[in-house]
């Protein structure tokens, strides 16, 4: 599925490159200039790593000139937008809600630059929230968790308690209860995205309370969650972890049953193509299961441990989500003229 | 034939543009006590630092045991058997004496206990042999300066050096301790060690030395065996041929040799000062009163146990005592630096205080002369505006102190750490005399000073009390000769109590006995 | 004795040495990592000084919080108060500033802005008061207490941006933008450079004047140089002087937080400070605690940060390298500072 999407996008890109591109910004001979801002390291094997891969995909597919900066503090946001805006970048991916205020200011100052804020909540003509409907993948994860749990208790470890994270957890809960209405679900937040020790501690606490499947949404700190699960498995218990944001199945192939994924690279490439083709038009971008950007992938190394009928009901749910038949819970947060969406 | 242990020849050492040593030589022989004499700033400390490996000479040769060596570091000097007792203390205050003795030794954590036990036995033997009174389990921070010095000496002796170098070891020792130290040094020399000793008091030099070397302005000007010198020739070699200088210095020498007080007053000030004995006998009004003052030392037993004292204008009240008997606390209470636990204290406005440790308490090394003078003036309305200090006025005052007290420094912007010991003391005294319009409390004011500088300090104290309008002076000193020579009234402090010295007991022996707590001498 | 004043000439020497040593080692590291040190240096220099905009909008803007916190550290250290909690005091100031900027919307700018800055300074001083009282009254060492108070401030920031000061929709852990009247005006129109830089320079001159000319400054320096001599020779009561050093230091750090909120971010976030209060220690030490030199060393660190960001953007060098280069500079500073001290001590024992 993922490779299909990738192939089709590449084909589109090549076709586009062939016809020279004459509609959007970055026309003519000048290459498209695309920048990425992250608030964490691109070595997190997750949220930021995916964005960085997307940036490289844009470079390789579209011949774009690309640049990346990791910012460490809100005081640097304005400066980074200033640097990219004033040197004429066409597209800036600001990969996190943190950037939204500075993005709004920069959007006003640099009308020729389009800023896409992942998880952002504010809209302007050239400032566009980029919303990944990861809830749709989390719902499937919830189904798997409840189906695989022997104890009837499952856990969720989050980073900062923000709507996109809350959304994934509400969907996870809904998916779990669809399989087992009586399942007990634990929830904890560490307050940041990079404290591996805190994440491990939170996961260990849930495992101690009987949880045997744990999902996370803590970005780089997810290693701590996997480690905590691995440790109880080492002591003879049966427990599983679930990945999030990116296909993390190979990060801890012995304990990760599967991952709720955003195909961030493909989504980024699609946004860049859309900008070149027609502009982005001041509307939030939603990418979910029906676009093939969000999905749930089983770890091939452990898929034999999952009962076939559970896999079957997950596949059925996926199709119902894609067709719009099944509405997964969301926590809306994008502020538009027509209200919060 | 006597073996030469160490020989320094033509040693030159510069600090910036100043030549501290300009061709100094020293020959140290086994079995001899070798005294090094010289005025403050003559280069004695620099020469010793070179011998101890702490400074490297700019020119000149050093031989140890007949071979030319480069004393690149204190460690090298140690390895060659040269042990240096510092003038400034190198002890760690929160540690006990025993722990300080263990510092610098190769310690294995696992065997610390055993090492300490062995060290204790060794130290106890040495203490017994030398008569150095050191409590091994006391924390260094509880010790007075004199006690700390004894620890320094003990620390070096424990390493059994073949050349033992002591920088002013007697400066803060009581007479009985000086005598026993000299006995020790003689004994160590008899064992075949070479002893080098910096001293200021000529009578001490004459008492202990086998050989005397004199430095003047960074050069060796004189070196000969004890039998060929006397007090007058040594003084002449030290201070040059200036008649008044010699007279002043000789006066002190005479005092130091234990002559009568009247002679000391008359001769000690030489031709330059006349003292109206009649005026001195009529002190003025009361300026300070302590009544039944009690105070605890930072640790342990009470430091002051009911002290009552009255000080009048124009008198010098001498207080003699062995270090650690409460004089430190007494000085602080009298100068208004500490409040007692109980008892009443009445002090005047203009109080000057010359603290015992001028390097640590009297001056700030990083501050220049003017800033150090400002320490005494920063609360004086004549030198301050609403918020700012009037630095021009302070600097002018500092310049007056510098010229009046002949402080050798490039100017009032010179930092205090660049001053020699004697000049530091001149600066402290000059500054405190500025503010001591009513009372001056001086704690060991001549400790570590050479003959001329000591004479100068004594002269200043006498001048200040010439008339009954002058300040009252409280002279707290462990130097018996000094208090005997200067005091109008003399008291002894022992175990936190003050005892007046009766007229018939005003001798070294009488006061010495009182200092050690023998009240029968006062009877 | 004719020796250079150890504060002023020494600082320049140490600074130059630190920069040279860091440059050499960083270049070596970059080569080892497979990057072109010349391209990196070009990008860094361009990002820090390459244009008026780079210098004014980036380098100078980044150095402002370092100037004020560097002053805060120098202020305390000169009086012998080892306040290493400028970070927490800055955050306290930032919280107060955000609060004033949010609740004071109705007030005119001429009243609102001074109020914001004053309250930020007050909050910083308040944050320093706890360790100050513990030190003066109970004799508790300030190194631990000031540091612990910083952790408290970090947690408090996280709390207020989720609780009382969270943006009205209650979605994101941050405050709403502060009122327009609470913002520091631009100093050079069209750049990000705000009035805070003037404030920092004025503060530095004021602190320098305090140390050099005033009774209070003299007493602080005396207590810092030698508490024993200050008590014995100066008859200075060290308690009040120490208290002033704590509070003044806290106020300067708090002001830094206020200036940052009012001049740069216009809002408070979780994880607000990247460690300005800690970098400030290096800034102050590199300046040998001289207030005017703090301006220069803060500028150096600001340029370094700006250059590091540009290295990422324009030379493709990862963020961790930039952090490594900064750590190298701090190490070089400390090593050279120690060498300078030894050189001085070697000739002091005449």
Residue C218 has pLDDT above 50, yes or no: yes
Lowest-confidence segment of A109-113, B142-146, C2-6, C104-108 by average pLDDT:
C2-6
Average pLDDT value for residue range C243-265: 97
Q: Can you say whether residue A275 is alpha, beta or left, with left for phi > 0 and alpha for psi between -120 and 50 degrees?
A: alpha
- Quote the CA–CA distance of C20 and C282 in Å, as a whole number: 16
Nearest CA in chain A to C58: A79
Cα–Cα nearest to B496, from B337, B237, B301: B301
CB count in 10 Å sphere of residue B120: 15
pTM metric for this prediction: 0.75
- Quote the CA–CA distance of C12 and A177 in Å, as a whole number: 68
Element (H, E) at A34: strand A33-38
Write the burial class of residue B191 (CB in 10 Å: 0-12 exposed, 13-18 middle, 19+ buried): exposed
- Map C128-147 to HEC letters: HHHHHHHHHHHCCCHHHHHH
Question: CB C169 to CB A80 under 8 A?
Answer: no
Rounded to the nearest integer, the mean pLDDT of chain C is 88
Residue C350 has pLDDT above 70, yes or no: no
- Quote the CA–CA distance of A336 and A329 in Å, as a whole number: 20
Give me B129's structure tokens.
């042999």
**Which range is most confident: A247-251, B189-193, B373-377?**
B373-377
* Banded model confidence at residue B249, pLDDT cuts 50, 70, 90: very low
Nearest CA in chain B to C347: B15
Helix (H, G, I), strand (E, B) or coil at B94: coil
Report the residue from C171, C306, C313 with minimal CB separation from A121. C171
* Banded model confidence at residue A23, pLDDT cuts 50, 70, 90: very low
- Answer yes or no: are the C-beta atoms of A253 and A194 closer than 8 Å: no
- Quote the CA–CA distance of C70 and C294 in Å, as a whole number: 6
Element (H, E) at B286: strand B286-296
Element (H, E) at B27: strand B18-29
DSSP code per residue over C213-225? HBHHHHHHHHHHH
pLDDT in tens, C91-137: 999 999 999 999 999 999 899 999 999 999 999 999 999 999 999 99
- Quote the CA–CA distance of B143 and B134 in Å, as a whole number: 10
* Residues, chain C: 350
Residue A220 sits at the vertex; the CA angle it makes with C272 and A101, to the nearest 5 degrees, is 35
The contacts of residue C327 (CB under 8 Å, 6+ apart) are none
Hunting for tokens 């050079």 — which residue is that? C188
* Banded model confidence at residue B88, pLDDT cuts 50, 70, 90: low
| ipTM of model | 0.84
Share of chain B above pLDDT 70, in %: 83
Q: Which of A75, A159, A339 to mutate to test the interface with C (most CBs of C within 10 A)?
A: A75
pLDDT, residue B521, reads: 42
CB burial string C316-343: b at 16+ within 10 A, e below: ebbbebbebbbebbbebbbebbeebeee
Element (H, E) at A31: none
- Quote the CA–CA distance of A206 and A186 in Å, as a whole number: 7
Share of chain A above pLDDT 70, in %: 90
Question: CB A35 to CB C265 under 8 A?
Answer: no
- Quote the CA–CA distance of B506 and B318 in Å, as a whole number: 11
pLDDT in tens, B429-471: 999 999 999 999 999 888 767 777 788 888 889 888 888 888 9
Backbone angles phi, psi at A25, to 5 degrees: -65, 160
From chain B residues 48-67, the ones with a CB under 8 A of any chain C CB are 49, 54-55
- Quote the CA–CA distance of A288 and B79 in Å, as a whole number: 79
Q: State the count of interchain CB pairs (< 8 A) between A and C.
A: 89
Helix (H, G, I), strand (E, B) or coil at B490: strand
Rounded to the nearest integer, the mean pLDDT of chain B is 81
- Chain B contacts of C233, Cβ < 8 Å? 353, 355, 361-364, 372, 375-376, 428, 431
Average pLDDT value for residue range B159-183: 79
Give me B84's structure tokens.
């240096």
Average pLDDT value for residue range C321-340: 71
Q: Which long-range contacts (CB under 8 A, 24 or more apart) does C18-22 make?
A: C18/C286, C18/C329, C18/C332, C18/C333, C18/C336, C19/C300, C19/C329, C21/C332, C21/C335, C21/C336, C22/C325, C22/C328, C22/C329, C22/C332
Taking the CA atoms of residue C177, residue C180, residue C183 and residue C184 in that order, the dihedral angle to the nearest 10 degrees is: 150
Nearest CA-CA distance, residue C312 and chain A, Å: 6
Residue A12 has pLDDT above 50, yes or no: no
* Banded model confidence at residue B84, pLDDT cuts 50, 70, 90: confident
- Chain B contacts of C208, Cβ < 8 Å? none
Backbone angles phi, psi at B354, to 5 degrees: -105, 100
* Banded model confidence at residue C21, pLDDT cuts 50, 70, 90: confident
From chain A residues 54-73, the ones with a CB under 8 A of any chain C CB are 67-73
Domains identified in chain A and CATH numbers: 3-133+263-291 (3.40.50.2300), 135-261+294-333 (3.40.50.2300)
- Answer yes or no: are the C-beta atoms of B353 and B331 closer than 8 Å: yes
Residue C2 has pLDDT above 80, yes or no: no
User: Do A and C have ≥3 inter-chain CB pairs under 8 A?
Assistant: yes
* Banded model confidence at residue C291, pLDDT cuts 50, 70, 90: very high
Question: CB A160 to CB C316 under 8 A?
Answer: no
Question: CB A75 to CB C313 under 8 A?
Answer: no
pLDDT, residue A81, reads: 93
Write the burial class of residue C42 (CB in 10 Å: 0-12 exposed, 13-18 middle, 19+ buried): middle
Give the chains touching B; criterion: ≥3 Cβ pairs < 8 Å.
Answer: C
In the sheet that holds B219-225, the strands lie side by side as B82-85, B163-167, B194-198, B33-38, B211-216, B219-225
Domains identified in chain C and CATH numbers: 10-347 (1.10.3470)
Q: Which residues pair with B164 in a beta bridge?
A: B83, B195
pLDDT, residue A290, reads: 84
Question: CB C192 to CB A97 under 8 A?
Answer: no
- Answer yes or no: are the C-beta atoms of A119 and C348 closer than 8 Å: no
Nearest CA in chain A to C319: A70
Give me B310's structure tokens.
């009255």
Average pLDDT value for residue range B302-308: 86
Cα–Cα nearest to C150, from C96, C84, C95: C84
- Chain B contacts of C349, Cβ < 8 Å? 45, 49, 54-55
Residue B243 has pLDDT above 70, yes or no: no
**Which range is most confident: B157-161, B378-382, C72-76, C177-181?**
C72-76
């Amino acid at each position: 599925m993922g490779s299909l999407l990738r192939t089709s996008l590449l084909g589109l890109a090549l076709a586009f490159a062939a016809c020279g591109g004459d509609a959007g910004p970055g026309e003519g001979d000048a290459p498209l200039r695309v920048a990425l801002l992250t608030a964490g390291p691109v070595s997190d094997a997750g949220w930021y790593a995916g964005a960085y891969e997307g940036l490289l995909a844009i470079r390789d597919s579209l011949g774009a000139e690309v640049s990346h900066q990791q910012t460490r503090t809100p005081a640097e946001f304005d400066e980074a937008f200033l640097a990219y805006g004033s040197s004429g970048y066409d597209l800036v991916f600001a990969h996190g809600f943190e950037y939204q205020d500075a993005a709004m200011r920069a959007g006003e100052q640099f009308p020729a630059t389009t800023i896409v804020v992942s998880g952002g909540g504010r809209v302007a003509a050239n400032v566009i929230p980029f919303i990944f409907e990861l809830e749709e993948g989390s719902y499937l994860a919830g189904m798997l968790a409840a189906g695989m749990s022997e104890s009837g208790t499952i856990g969720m470890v989050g980073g900062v308690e923000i709507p996109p994270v809350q959304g994934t957890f509400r969907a996870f809960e809904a998916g779990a209860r669809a399989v087992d209405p009586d399942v007990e679900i634990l929830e904890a937040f560490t307050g940041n995205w990079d404290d591996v020790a805190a994440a491990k501690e939170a996961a260990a606490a849930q495992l101690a309370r009987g949880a045997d499947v744990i999902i996370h949404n803590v970005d780089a700190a997810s290693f701590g969650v996997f480690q905590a699960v691995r440790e109880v498995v080492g002591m003879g218990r049966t427990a599983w972890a679930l990945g999030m944001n990116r296909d993390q199945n190979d990060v801890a192939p012995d304990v990760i049953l599967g991952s709720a994924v955003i195909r961030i690279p493909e989504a980024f490439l699609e946004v860049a193509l859309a900008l070149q083709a027609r502009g982005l038009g001041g509307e939030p971008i939603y990418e979910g299961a029906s676009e093939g950007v969000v999905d749930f992938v089983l770890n091939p190394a452990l898929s034999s441990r999952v009962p076939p009928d559970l896999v079957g009901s997950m596949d059925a749910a996926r199709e119902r989500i894609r067709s719009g038949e099944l509405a997964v819970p969301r926590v809306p947060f994008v502020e538009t003229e027509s209200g919060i969406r | 034939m006597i073996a030469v242990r160490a020989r320094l020849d033509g040693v030159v050492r510069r600090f910036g543009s100043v030549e501290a040593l300009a061709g100094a030589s020293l020959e140290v022989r086994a079995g001899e006590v070798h005294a090094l004499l010289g005025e403050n700033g003559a280069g004695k400390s620099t020469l010793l630092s070179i011998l101890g490996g702490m400074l490297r000479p700019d020119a000149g040769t050093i031989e140890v045991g007949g071979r030319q060596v480069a004393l690149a570091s204190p460690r090298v000097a140690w390895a060659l058997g040269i042990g240096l007792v510092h003038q400034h203390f190198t002890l760690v205050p929160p540690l006990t004496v025993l722990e300080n003795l263990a510092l610098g030794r190769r310690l294995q954590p696992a065997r610390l206990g055993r090492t300490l036990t062995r060290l204790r036995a060794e130290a106890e033997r040495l203490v017994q042999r030398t008569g150095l009174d050191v409590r091994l389990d006391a924390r260094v921070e509880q010790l007075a300066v004199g006690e700390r010095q004894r620890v320094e000496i003990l620390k070096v002796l424990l390493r059994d050096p073949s050349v033992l170098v002591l920088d002013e070891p007697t400066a803060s020792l009581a007479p009985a301790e000086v005598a026993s130290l000299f006995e020790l040094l003689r004994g160590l020399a008899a064992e075949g060690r070479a002893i080098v000793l910096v001293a200021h008091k000529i009578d001490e030099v004459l008492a202990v030395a086998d050989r005397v070397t004199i430095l003047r302005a960074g050069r060796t000007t004189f070196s000969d065996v004890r039998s060929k010198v006397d007090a007058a020739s040594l003084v002449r070699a030290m201070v040059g041929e200036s008649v008044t200088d010699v007279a002043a210095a000789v006066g002190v020498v005479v005092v130091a040799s234990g002559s009568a007080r009247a002679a000391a007053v008359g001769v000690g000030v030489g031709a330059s000062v006349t003292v109206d004995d009649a005026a001195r006998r009529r002190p003025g009004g009361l300026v300070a009163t302590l009544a039944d003052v009690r105070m605890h030392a930072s640790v342990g037993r009470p430091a002051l146990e009911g002290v009552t004292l009255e000080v009048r204008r124009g008198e010098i009240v001498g207080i003699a005592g062995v270090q650690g008997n409460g004089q430190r606390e007494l000085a602080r209470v009298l100068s208004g630096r500490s409040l007692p636990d109980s008892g009443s204290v009445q002090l005047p406005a203009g109080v000057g205080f010359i603290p015992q440790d001028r390097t640590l308490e009297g001056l700030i090394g990083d501050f220049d002369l003017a800033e150090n003078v400002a320490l005494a003036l920063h609360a004086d309305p004549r030198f301050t505006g609403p918020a700012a200090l009037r630095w021009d006025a302070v600097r002018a005052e500092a310049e007056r102190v510098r010229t009046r007290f002949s402080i050798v420094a490039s100017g009032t912007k010179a930092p205090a750490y660049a001053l020699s010991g004697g000049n530091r003391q001149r600066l402290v005294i000059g500054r405190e005399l500025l503010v001591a319009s009513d009372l001056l409390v001086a704690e060991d004011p001549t400790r570590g000073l050479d003959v001329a500088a000591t004479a100068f300090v004594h002269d200043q104290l006498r001048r200040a009390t010439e008339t009954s309008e002058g300040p009252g002076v409280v002279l707290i000193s462990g130097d018996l000769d000094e208090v005997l020579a200067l005091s109008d009234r003399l008291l002894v402090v022992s175990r936190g109590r003050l005892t007046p010295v009766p007229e018939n007991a005003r001798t070294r022996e009488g006061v010495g006995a009182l200092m050690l707590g023998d009240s029968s001498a006062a009877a | 004795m004719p020796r250079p004043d150890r504060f002023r000439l020494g600082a320049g020497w140490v600074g130059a040495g630190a920069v040279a040593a860091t440059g050499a080692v960083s270049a070596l590291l970059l080569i080892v990592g497979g990057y072109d040190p010349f391209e990196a240096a070009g990008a860094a220099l361009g990002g820090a000084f390459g244009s008026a905009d780079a210098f004014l909008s980036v380098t100078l803007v980044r150095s402002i919080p370092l100037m004020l916190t560097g002053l805060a550290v120098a202020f305390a250290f000169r009086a012998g108060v080892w306040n290493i909690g400028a970070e927490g005091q800055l955050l306290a100031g930032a919280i107060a500033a955000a609060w004033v900027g949010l609740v004071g919307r109705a007030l005119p700018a001429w009243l609102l802005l001074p109020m914001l800055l004053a309250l930020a300074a007050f909050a910083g001083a308040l944050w320093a008061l706890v360790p100050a009282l513990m030190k003066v009254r109970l004799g508790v060492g300030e190194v631990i207490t000031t540091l612990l108070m910083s952790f408290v401030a970090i947690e408090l920031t996280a709390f207020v941006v989720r609780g009382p000061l969270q943006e009205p929709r209650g979605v994101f852990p941050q405050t709403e933008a502060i009122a327009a009247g609470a913002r520091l005006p631009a100093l050079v129109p069209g750049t990000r450079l705000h009035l805070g830089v003037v404030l920092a320079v004025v503060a530095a001159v004021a602190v320098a004047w305090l140390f050099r000319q005033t009774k209070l400054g003299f007493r602080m320096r005396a207590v810092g140089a030698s508490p024993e001599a200050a008590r014995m020779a100066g008859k200075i009561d060290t308690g009040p002087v120490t208290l002033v050093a704590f509070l003044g230091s806290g106020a300067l750090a708090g002001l830094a937080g206020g200036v940052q909120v009012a001049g740069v971010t216009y809002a408070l976030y979780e994880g607000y400070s990247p460690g300005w209060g800690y970098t400030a220690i290096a800034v102050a030490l590199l300046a040998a605690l001289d207030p005017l030199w703090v301006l220069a060393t803060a500028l150096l660190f600001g340029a370094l940060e700006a250059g590091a960001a540009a290295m990422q953007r324009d030379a493709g060098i990862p963020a961790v390298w930039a952090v490594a280069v900064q750590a190298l500079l701090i190490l070089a500073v400390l090593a050279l500072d120690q060498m300078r001290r030894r050189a001085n001590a070697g000739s002091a024992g005449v």
